Amino acid sequence: MKSALIIGAGQFGTHIAKRMEEMRCEVMVVDINEECINDIMDYVTNAQIGDGTNEEFLRTLGIDNFDVCFVTLGRHFQTSLETTSLLSELGAKRVVSRATNDVQMKFLLRNGADEVVYPEKQTALRIATKYASENILDYFYLENDIYLYELKVPREWVGKKLSQIDVRKKYKINVLTIKRDSEVLMPSADTVIEANDVAFVLGESKDIQKTFRL
């Protein structure tokens, strides 16, 4: 069972806390606002009123005992930066901090964050990409420019076996699954593509865009 410390009980922090609790993690939430703590108390393992920039307070939490520490104070950047730095200094195993712009992201990474999330930008990019083409149903960024796209199959694929299309060799991408009506298939080389199939494709963005002419 993993354990998490979340500093900041706003909407973003609350969503993380509730989801991790649903996944049977031990979750402690800290916020300086008593009302926020009262609102989230029933959904987490523990919650405390406290200041994330107070080193002595953080020491009492046993920072090095948590598998991950989240700093979700995106609107209060100075506080977020100080908290991130303190968590790192106190031996946090992993610090994930929220940013609201690129400059904040750079400073957080330089001051102790192991990872920075930028939900507004990530959501905007996802929505823009999804609606930029009729063929894109959804997409997810993994890392190192590797993406997972959910796409309608090209017309020229219809009626052909995956071995004939040979996307791995020709286009350097992988078709992981095929969604056909309500069924999800694990395709083989002999799987024949049908007109309404939806492919889940893994690869670099440039290769996927070239293959599907996005």
Class of the CATH-defined domain 125-212: alpha beta
Give the list of residues 6+ apart from residue 97 with CB closer than 8 angstroms, or none.
70, 71, 80, 84, 108, 113, 115, 116, 117
Going by C-alpha positions, the residue among 23, 63, 66, 18 that lies closest to residue 43 is: 18
76-85, 93-102, 125-134, 163-172: which has the minimum mean pLDDT? 125-134
- 8 A C-beta contact, residue 198 and residue 150: yes
* CATH number among 3.40.640.10, 3.50.50.60, 3.40.50.720, 3.80.30.20, domain 3-117: 3.40.50.720
User: What pLDDT sits at residue 201?
Assistant: 87
C-alpha to C-alpha distances, 122 to 9, 68, 106, 128, nearest whole angstrom: 21, 21, 16, 10
Give the confidence band of 140 by pLDDT, cuts at 50, 70, 90.
Answer: confident
Report domain extents, the chain.
3-117, 125-212
**pLDDT of residue 127 exceeding 80:** no
**pLDDT of residue 61 exceeding 70:** yes
